[in-house]
A and B are shown apart, each in its own frame.
Chain A
Amino acid sequence: QSALTQPASVSGSPGQSITISCTGTSGDIGTFKLVSWYQFHPGAGPKLIIYEVNKRPSGVSDRFSASKSGNTASLTISGLQAEDEADYFCCSYAGFATVIFGGGTKVTVL
């Protein structure tokens, strides 16, 4: 299993929208509707922000949205805010009761 591919960094100005891609294979993202996204703030426990491709847990801002097409999933943050500055990781079910994560993307709010 190779890690899902994410850009190392993405940046945007407050109010803008940014999109983080997460590329896998036909053995994970391409087959299963089981992509999730996590936000990591330094010093805090990781937080689930998207599950099952595009569902938001209760309490997560609707500025976070996600989708997938083929072997690539995407997370969009709209109306970027300073508090969105964090690391973001994607994750996909990869069959045979295993999961695989991405390498992570550092989001910087300029």
Chain B
Amino acid sequence: QVQLQESGPGLVKPSETLSLTCNVSGVSVTNDTYYWSWIRQPPGRGLEWIGYIYYTETTGSNPSLKSRVTISLDTSKNHFSLKLTSVTAADTAVYYCARFPAGSRWFFDLWGRGTSVTVSS
């Protein structure tokens, strides 16, 4: 059974870097069938796509976040990670990891349960 599970600190101070990991089980992150992605939902608001990574380490991200986002793969641990720099209160959200099929299909067929991150001093 394929599962995704987010992990990371629930509280980050303003101006610091938010770091989250998505642990993947049941499929290898090097599987060329899938891309791996991060999505977030600020409190009371809609979803915001953050970015993706492919096993080739090709990445893409939301233009509004691009300068602050780094997504990376760790094949030895079968997980992928998100780093978001210079966080502010506006980055407070539930963060989800998800996968989408390769081949320009652009839908997220599997999600983690999400992890809540609060930016506050």
User: A91–B109 contact, CB under 8 A?
Assistant: no
Is there contact, CB below 8 Å, between B96 and A103? no
Chain A contact residues, majority secondary structure: loop
The answer to the question of A48 belonging to the interface, with a C-beta cut-off of 8 Å to chain B, is: yes
**B side interface size, CB within 8 A:** 25
Asked if A52 is at the interface (CB within 8 A of a chain B CB), the reply is yes
Q: Which of A34, A48, A98, A103 contacts B63 (CB 8 A)?
A: A98
Please tell me if the beta carbons of B106 and A99 are within 8 angstroms of each other in the complex.
yes
Interface residues of A (CB under 8 A from B): 1, 3, 6, 32, 34, 36, 38, 43-48, 51-52, 57, 89, 91, 93, 97-104
Given contacts A48-B107, A104-B46, 12 further A-B contacts (CB under 8 A): A3-B46, A34-B104, A45-B96, A45-B111, A46-B108, A47-B111, A52-B107, A89-B46, A91-B49, A97-B52, A101-B47, A102-B46
